[in-house]
């Protein structure tokens, strides 16, 4: 019988994010350094069977009902559809966040394996800027990947766009138009201080208010009643779909956070910005029982803090970059 996974602030945790690899075929400037990161070795990262076991403990003991695969780039891991199939057999929804560069090859297989939802990251519609931001000349491949996801029947396909002042904030309207024209839902994300190059600064964060004001001038919007999700959604008044903003910095949703994270090497993190981790891999590999694993997960979640405090003097930057944590 599942019991809720609750922290000391009474937040119930239902959403598990699993980073399946720390590797990536891109090198987005706001996420990882161009070089110098040391990859985990094959035996350091969890096998599909180990991931499935941890996920099953989460589902059976705590009623976790949503799992998102992320990374690094999840699709650099071979045969990922096998993992999706294993997880989809649990009583939970399986989703993925990807850079989209190999989706033309994988979208249909993932859908057939039981993947329910897909988010594709895209921060510029301009080829040169895309190259600057990702350090890869693959805009067309990603656009084709988005098309492949639509064709495979994912609905809605969501596009994650990190907005950075002075870098891509002049493309907000282009992205809104792209979403409206292509039947995909664009979600703008406020830039968070998790870039390995440490170029983030508070004044380069484009706030939700600024983003929405810009769009509203061209395509009038109204807010949609908010559920548990981190994105505040807005509906276009002319009926041409919706757009979302994840205001992780200026309107942190920590008070409603229902997420726990598992790194590729099996460390439980109770927050994107956590400085401590809980070692589930050792338990897994030294014969720990499901109950012992569940107890360690509960211990990790009960240690969760109230919120991340970006911009406050006591904010501590985690030692990992976003690519090592998983977004």
Q: Does residue 26 belong to the site contacting ligand SF4 (CB under 6 A)?
A: yes
Instruction: Look at residue 234 and give its three-state secondary structure.
Output: strand
The partner in contact with residue 192, picked from ligand SAM, ligand SF4, none with C-beta cut-offs of 5 to 8 angstroms by kind, is: ligand SAM
Among 21, 29, 98, 267, indicate the residue that binds ligand SAM (CB under 6 A): 98
Contacting residues for 143 by C-beta, under 8 A, at least 6 apart: 122
Contacting residues for 98 by C-beta, under 8 A, at least 6 apart: 73, 74, 75, 118, 119, 120, 121, 145
61 φ/ψ sector (left φ>0, alpha ψ -120 to 50, else beta): alpha
Q: Does residue 76 belong to the site contacting ligand SF4 (CB under 6 A)?
A: no
The partner in contact with residue 16, picked from ligand SF4, ligand SAM, none with C-beta cut-offs of 5 to 8 angstroms by kind, is: none
Stretch in the footprint of ligand SAM (CB under 6 A) among 51-59, 91-99, 268-276, 306-314? 91-99
Q: Does residue 121 belong to the site contacting ligand SF4 (CB under 6 A)?
A: yes
Q: Does residue 172 belong to the site contacting ligand SAM (CB under 6 A)?
A: no
- Residue 229 to residue 246: CA distance in whole angstroms: 9
The partner in contact with residue 263, picked from ligand SF4, ligand SAM, none with C-beta cut-offs of 5 to 8 angstroms by kind, is: none
Minimum distance from CB of 69 to ligand SF4 (Å)?
A: 12
- Residue 42 to residue 113: CA distance in whole angstroms: 24
317 close to 11: Cβ distance less than 8 angstroms = no
Minimum distance from CB of 295 to ligand SF4 (Å)?
A: 32
Instruction: Look at residue 66 and give its three-state secondary structure.
Output: strand
Among 119, 214, 270, 323, indicate the residue that binds ligand SF4 (CB under 6 A): 323
- Residue 94 to residue 113: CA distance in whole angstroms: 10
The dihedrals phi and psi of 171, each to the nearest 5 degrees, come to -105, 5
The partner in contact with residue 32, picked from ligand SAM, ligand SF4, none with C-beta cut-offs of 5 to 8 angstroms by kind, is: ligand SF4
Q: Does residue 73 belong to the site contacting ligand SAM (CB under 6 A)?
A: yes
Minimum distance from CB of 73 to ligand SAM (Å)?
A: 4
Q: Does residue 162 belong to the site contacting ligand SAM (CB under 6 A)?
A: yes
Among 24, 107, 184, 194, indicate the residue that binds ligand SF4 (CB under 6 A): 24
The dihedrals phi and psi of 104, each to the nearest 5 degrees, come to -55, -40
Q: Does residue 18 belong to the site contacting ligand SF4 (CB under 6 A)?
A: no
- Which residues, listed in sequence order, are joined to residue 17 by a DSSP beta bridge? 68, 261
- Residue 25 to residue 15: CA distance in whole angstroms: 26
Q: Does residue 206 belong to the site contacting ligand SF4 (CB under 6 A)?
A: no
Q: Does residue 32 belong to the site contacting ligand SF4 (CB under 6 A)?
A: yes
Minimum distance from CB of 245 to ligand SAM (Å)?
A: 12
Q: Does residue 97 belong to the site contacting ligand SAM (CB under 6 A)?
A: yes
Whole-Å CA distances, 110 to 51, 115, 187, 314:
17, 6, 22, 42
Q: Does residue 146 belong to the site contacting ligand SF4 (CB under 6 A)?
A: no
Q: Does residue 195 belong to the site contacting ligand SAM (CB under 6 A)?
A: yes
Whole-Å CA distances, 86 to 45, 115, 286:
17, 11, 23
Among 73, 81, 171, 296, indicate the residue that binds ligand SF4 (CB under 6 A): 73
Residues from 202 through 241 that contact ligand SAM (CB under 6 A): none
- Residue 181 to residue 291: CA distance in whole angstroms: 50
Q: In what order do the strands lie in the sheet with 259-262?
A: 221-223, 231-236, 242-246, 185-190, 157-163, 117-121, 93-98, 66-70, 15-19, 259-262, 267-269, 278-279
Interface with ligand SAM by CB under 6 A: which residues?
A: 24, 30-31, 70-71, 73, 97-99, 121, 160, 162, 189, 191-192, 194-195, 322-323, 326-327
Interface with ligand SF4 by CB under 6 A: which residues?
A: 24, 26-28, 31-32, 71-73, 99, 121, 322-323
């Amino acid at each position: 019988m599942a019991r809720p996974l609750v922290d000391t602030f009474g937040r119930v945790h239902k959403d598990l994010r699993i980073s399946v690899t720390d590797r990536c075929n891109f090198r987005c400037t706001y996420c990882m350094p161009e070089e110098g990161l040391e990859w985990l070795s094959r035996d350091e990262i969890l096998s599909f069977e180990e991931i499935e076991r941890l996920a099953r403990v989460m589902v059976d003991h705590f009623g976790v009902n949503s799992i998102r695969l992320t990374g690094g780039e999840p699709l650099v891991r071979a045969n990922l559809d096998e993992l999706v199939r294993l997880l989809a057999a649990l009583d939970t929804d399986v989703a993925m966040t990807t850079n989209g560069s190999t989706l033309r090859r994988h979208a249909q297989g993932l859908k057939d394996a039981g993947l329910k939802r897909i988010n594709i990251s895209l921060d510029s519609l301009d080829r040169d800027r895309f190259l600057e931001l990702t350090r890869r000349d693959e805009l067309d491949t990603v656009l084709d990947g988005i098309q492949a996801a639509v064709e495979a029947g994912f609905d809605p396909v969501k596009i994650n766009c990190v907005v950075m002042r002075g870098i891509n904030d002049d493309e907000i309207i282009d992205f809104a138009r792209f979403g409206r024209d292509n039947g995909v839902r664009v979600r703008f994300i406020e830039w968070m201080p998790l870039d390995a190059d440490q170029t983030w600064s508070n004044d380069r964060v484009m706030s939700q208010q600024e983003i929405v004001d810009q769009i509203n001038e061209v395509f009038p919007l109204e807010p949609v009643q908010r559920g548990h999700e981190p994105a505040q959604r807005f509906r276009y008044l002319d009926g041409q779909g919706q757009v979302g903003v994840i205001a992780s910095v200026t309107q942190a949703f920590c008070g409603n956070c229902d997420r726990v994270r598992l790194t590729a090497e099996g460390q439980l993190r109770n927050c994107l910005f956590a400085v401590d981790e809980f070692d589930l891999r050792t338990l897994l590999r030294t014969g720990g029982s499901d109950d012992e694993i569940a107890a360690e997960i509960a211990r990790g979640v009960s240690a969760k803090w109230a919120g991340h405090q970006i911009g406050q003097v006591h904010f501590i930057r985690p030692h990992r970059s976003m690519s090592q944590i998983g977004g």
